[in-house]
A = this chain, B = another copy of it.
Amino acid sequence: MDNTFQENETVRMEAFSDGVFAIDITLLTFELKAPRHPDGDYSSVMLLHALFKQWPAYIAFGLSFATIFIIWVNHHRMYNVIRRSDSRFMYYNGLHLLLVSTIPFTTSLMSNYIATEAMTLAGFVYMFLFAGICATLYLMWSHATKDYLLLKRPAADVKVQTVRMGLVISIIAYVVAALASFLSPYLSLLIGFGMVVYLSRLKYHRERVV
Contacts and interface: CB of A to CB of B under 8 A. Distances in A.
Contacts of A94: 66, 69
Interface stretch (A14-22, A137-145, A163-171, A186-194): A14-22
A118 interface: yes
A26 B69 contact: no
A178 B44 CA distance: 14
A31 to B, nearest CB: 9
Interface in A151-193: none
A146 interface: no
Given A32-B105, A62-B98, A112 B37 contact: yes
A12 B76 contact: yes
Contact of A19 (B19, B73, B118): B19
A59 B140 CA distance: 24
Contacts of A61: 102
